[in-house]
Structures are given as C-alpha cells and as structure tokens.
Amino acid sequence: MHMQLLNNDRVIIFDRTDFGRSNLSLPNGKCRNDPNDQALKHDCTAHSAEYNVLTNSIRPLMIQTDTWCSSGAVSADGNLIQTGGSNDGERVVRIFQPCSTCDWQEISNGLSARRWYATNHILPDGRIIVIGGRQQFNYEFYPKSTATSTNNQLFSLPFLSQTNDIYEDNLYPFVYHNVDGNLFIFANNQSILFNYTTNSVVKTFPQIPDGNARNYPSTGSSVLLPLNLNNLLMEAEVLICGGAPRGSIQQANSGKFIGALKTCGRIRITDPNPTWTMETMPLARVMGDMTLLPNGQVLIINGAARGVAGWEMGRDPVFYPVLYLPNNPADSSRFQVLNPSSIPRMYHSTAILLRDGRVLVGGSNPHQYYKFTGVLYPTELSLEAFSPPYLDSEYSGIRPAITAPVSYTKLKYGQRLAIHFSVSNTTVDKKKVQVTMVSPTFTTHSFSMNQRVLILNTRRLQVVTKSSYAIAVKTPNSAFLAPAGYYLLYVVHQNVPSEGVWVHIQG
C-alpha cells in the first residue's frame, strides 16, 4: 500500500495492521499487542518490511499502530516521516531512520488532527505540511515548535470543504511546491495556488475541462513535469491522467463498473492566465501510478480499466504500461504503449523509481482482509522490477556512467559542480546530454508525494579522454526549486540515464 526509497537503497514497504496475519513473521519472537486492533489484537507477523534493493532481501519491521491510508515525506536529514492512518494510528507520527538495524519509532498524538487519506509535502524551510484527510478541511505542520507559536495550530483550508462532494472525491489531494514558493493543490476537479505562510489563496485555476473527479476514490494520478533550470523564465506544468467519470462510485456500489477515463489534463501553473490542455491516452485507466523517470519522461503503470478505488470496486486490470514524452508534439506521439506485465496491480498497489533506473512495482489488495484464494483479484505479495525502454541492451553503448561525484556528496544551492562520466561506444554530443536531480517519493493510492525532477543548468561539456567526459552544471539556486534533502543525480545521454548517485543538498 505504501513505499518509500531511502538513501541507503532500501525501500520501506508497509500496508495496514488490521488485515489479520501477514505471511512475514516478526523477528526474535516479537509480537504486537494492540487492544484497539479490529482484526487481530495479538499479532506476531509484520505489516512493514525493509526491502534491500542491492541484495534482493527483506527485513521485517514492526509498526505498532494502524497505517491504513496514511501519508509520508522524507525530511532534510533523510528520515522517513510518516503520518496518520486509521483507528489508533490516525494522529500518530512515525519516524524511520535509514540504517541496517533501525525500526519504526512512533509518536502518539504527534498530529493535531486525525489524518486519514491526507497528503504530505516537504517545504523549503524543512517542515512537512500535512494537508486534508477524511473530513479534515485543514492543514498542519510537522515538526511542531516547542514554543507557543502558530506552528502548533491547525489552519483552515476551505478549498477542501468546497471540493468535498457526496463521495468525497478530494482525498489524497495532488500537492506540488511551485517555483514561486506557493503550493499547487488539486482536489476533485478544482485547483488553487496557495500561500501557506499567509493562509491565503493566491490564484484559482479553471476547472479541469471534462469536470470529472481525479482524486480518491475516483482515483487518477498526477505529476509535476520536470523543471528545466536552463530556461530563463522558470515554468512549471502539472499533468493529471485517468480517473473515473461522474457516477462511477454509485454504479460500482451497485455492481456496475463504468469505464475509466482516457483523458489527461495539462496546465502551466506559472502562466498569468493558465488554461488546461486535454490529451487522450491510448488506454483508459483508474488507480494508475505516474512515475517520473530520470530522463524526464513519465511512466503510467498499474490500475484498472473500469470502476473506482476501494474494496472490490475495480475491474479489468490494465497490464500495459504507457510512456508519456512531455516534450513531443501535443498529439498521439506523446504516448507509447509498452510491453505488458502479467500480474494485476489494482487497489493498494504502488510503483517507485529505484537508483538504477528501474521502477519497483508491488502490492495489490482490493479486499478488506488478506485473500489469497477464491476471489477475482487475490492479495498480491510479489514485487516486480519494471525496466523502462532505456534499459534495453541496445542502448548499453550510449549509457553514461558517473565517475564523480561519489554518492553522499554534499551540495550547496547555486553551486558550480563538475560531473565526470564515461560512455563506452560512442562520441557524446553535448546537445544530447542533460543532468537531472530526482527526489525519492512516498507513493500510495496512485500518488507519489514529493515527486520532483530538476534538469540542471548545464554550462559546458569537456572531452577528457576518448570515452570520458566532464560536464559543468549549476545546482538549483534555492530551496523553492529543490527543498533540502537527498536527491538522485543522473547524467542522461540521448534520453538514456546513468545509474544515479545520492547527493545531499542544503543551505
């Protein structure tokens, strides 16, 4: 249900504590005793795990409180800050530090309000904003100030109540930090630009043209398209794809499963008078995951062709991933249908980018409890590594390999940086080289929180030897563009990325 890559190349995975027994035992005879649990009050199985990408191994972790439909973000120091959930977890803050022996730390009443289906975003000042959730038309910040200040308060956000219809349809709102320091917030079919420092709406955007809902449970997906720091005028564009037509929830509740949306909406949120441009996907999709790749392309994967998100509410899994090429002309050439998988990835599945350029895909459980037999779409325990086309062997000769900087290099804002890389079988054209920084995401319910790709300002390319090169870049000049924290740095040659190296940017 939830996944997050950390800077030690390990992925933290978890679902809920109230599904019943899982198939992964807790270590050393540990058991969770929870009198509030609605499924199993004494449970010796794990509902969270650390997946080691490099060794392909699993370490069980212990979560005490219910994380069902919760949210998260990675702090500037690299810790996973995970918030909310259901039942006894709805006001809990959980912290996971990336280390080989670490486990969850939990803070009771770490939140001021109950947060179920909320969205988190890291801010330039290092705080995390937690927005919305079921019947929560407000937001708050974490960490809380130890002194008495506005940092400890709940702040009203009427936009969330205005977009809350009979089926809600505004849960897990899409939230992005714009280049001007304000937040873009999309809920249901509406969006605003919001100044969280003054608690005021800066701009109201037009309704998405088809008027259909795009947030849970009419679940579409969304990305902030790559920010190109080479442009004199900084532009930011949001892309939203898929979802369910109006009436789909009511129909699914009565056993009728309406076809999902095939449309995408794209809007440049930095324009003075922004408008939506609508595009048509090759395949209809609800509950899809949209993952930004290191070359700036968008992978659309997982989901269903009919129905909505929720228990037993989706039908016809979509096995074919689609690649979206944002810089291609605005026609069908922006979409490429890729080779299919064979495993249904429906409700409660996830997808995240790994350092080596693959996409880790896992989960799927459209049931109230674990159900492995006797159902249309059984609970799915497998992980898959999806390889985008750029990992095909035919591109191995043009694939770059970074030789410097090494992982965990510390960067400053506006810093000039020399990146050294090699390419084995071709001469590099400087016009076909980019350097990107990618933030690791917290992914759940078809939305990757804090997802961000920056195309760094490139100064010059130098040939060092026949197969090695150096390229000069400038790092983002402010935390508005790249909030402090760990990023993956890639060299991209002819749309083929290197493996990433971890860098840590801070003021």
pLDDT at 152: 67
The whole-angstrom separation of Cα 46 and Cα 96 is 15
pLDDT at 416: 96
pLDDT at 486: 98
Whether the predicted pLDDT of 294 surpasses 90: yes
Tell me how many degrees the CA angle 462-465-469 measures, rounded to the nearest 5: 35
Whether the predicted pLDDT of 429 surpasses 90: no
pLDDT at 148: 46
pLDDT at 350: 97
pLDDT at 306: 98
pLDDT by residue (tens digit) across 446-473?
Answer: 999 999 999 999 988 999 998 999 999 9
Q: pLDDT band for position 307 (50/70/90)?
A: very high
pLDDT by residue (tens digit) across 125-146?
Answer: 999 999 999 999 999 999 987 6
Instruction: Summarize the confidence of residues 16-41 as an average pLDDT.
Output: 91
User: Which of 282-286, 370-374, 399-403 comes out lowest in average pLDDT?
Assistant: 370-374
Which residues, including other chains, have CB under 8 Å from residue 211's CB and lie 6 or more apart? 189, 246
User: Which of 123-132, 184-193, 327-336, 450-459 comes out lowest in average pLDDT?
Assistant: 327-336
List of domains in the chain: 395-505 (2.60.40.10)
Collapsed DSSP state (helix, strand, coil) of residue 397: helix
pTM exceeds 0.85, yes or no: yes
Radius of gyration over alpha carbons of the chain, in Å?
22
Asked if residue 320 lies in contact with residue 283, where contact means CB atoms within 8 angstroms, the answer is yes
pLDDT at 318: 98
Q: Two tokens at 424?
A: 């084995």
Whether the predicted pLDDT of 170 surpasses 70: yes
Q: pLDDT band for position 345 (50/70/90)?
A: very high
- Find tokens 């995951």 and name the residue: 289
Instruction: Summarize the confidence of residues 334-353 as an average pLDDT.
Output: 97
pLDDT by residue (tens digit) across 197-217?
Answer: 999 999 999 999 999 999 999
* Arithmetic mean of pLDDT over the chain: 95
Number of other residues whose CB lies within 10 A of the CB of residue 372: 12
Q: What is the DSSP letter of 159?
A: H
- Give me the percent of the chain exceeding a pLDDT of 90: 91
Please list the residues that pair with 317 across neighbouring strands: 304
pLDDT at 225: 98
Give CA separation, 243 vs 21, 114, 263, 275, 316, in Å: 32, 26, 8, 20, 14
Whether the predicted pLDDT of 120 surpasses 70: yes
pLDDT at 151: 53
Q: pLDDT band for position 243 (50/70/90)?
A: very high
Rounded to a whole number, what is the distance in angstroms from the first to the last CA of the chain?
34
Q: pLDDT band for position 339 (50/70/90)?
A: very high
